[in-house]
Amino acid sequence: MPGQDALALEFVQFAVDCGVLRFGEFKTKAGRLSPYFFNAGLFDDGAKLGRLAQFYAQRLLASGLEFDMIFGPAYKGIPLGAALTVELARLGRNVPFCYNRKEAKDHGEGGTLVGAPLQGRVLIVDDVMSAGTAVRESIALIQAAGAQPHAVVIALDRQEKATENGLDVNHSAVQYVQQQLGLQVCAIARLEDLLRYLAQHAVPGLVDAHQRVQAYRERYGVSGVFT
């Protein structure tokens, strides 16, 4: 839909302006040399985090995705989930929020979960999905609490092949989560949107970036079908 594309392109511009989305040569967890890098940790002040939450909320509300509460996996998912919960409440959609600790607390209330009790259909919030590890860990926590892992919302879908045992496979982490784990995935923007943004901004520096990102997409990109 044109409106969704406009939101995605606006988000890419925002990420570039904040220095969150950078171009150059970056090594990924899979050992690939990527021509771009998305570091959500650089949404590092109140204004940026607030605007980011607006993008998440706009995408979620436009998607029609149903959920009963929000879960932010440690660590990056915690501020993202908290900011999104605040923004949704501002827009009239007040939902509970929960997050986990990496290490269990042995005093006070104890345990690894903080916030509202996990129940109902749970929406997991994260920045990107590289291997789906954080999602699988979140699913285990949510199911152990008797709730339903229902969907995931991320900032950027890299739309590239995942790796298993050090080898490329023909599906992305997002496709795996959708098809094998049965969760819906909602993304503010995708690699396709990044390429569209670069094609529309033919300025010094970005022309070369467009060519390199396109080549990376051709080498490591996934089709729209899970195989």
Would you name the residues annotated as active-site residues? 105, 107
Euclidean distance between CA atoms 116 and 14, whole angstroms: 31
Q: What is the DSSP letter of 7?
A: H
Residue 24 burial (CB count, 10 A): 11
* Burial classification of residue 41, based on how many CB atoms lie within 10 Å of its CB (0-12 exposed, 13-18 middle, 19 or more buried): exposed
Q: Within 13 Å of residue 144, how many CA atoms lie on the same side as its CB?
A: 10
| C-beta atoms surrounding 199 within 10 Å | 13
Both structure tokens of 86: 């605040």
Find how far residue 19's CA is from the centre of its chain.
17
Of 100, 135, 98, 102, nearest in space to 117 by CA: 98
| Nearest Cα residue to 180 out of 149, 212, 215 | 149
CB 124 within 8 A of CB 151: yes
Q: Cα–Cα distance between 80 and 57 in angstroms, integer?
A: 11
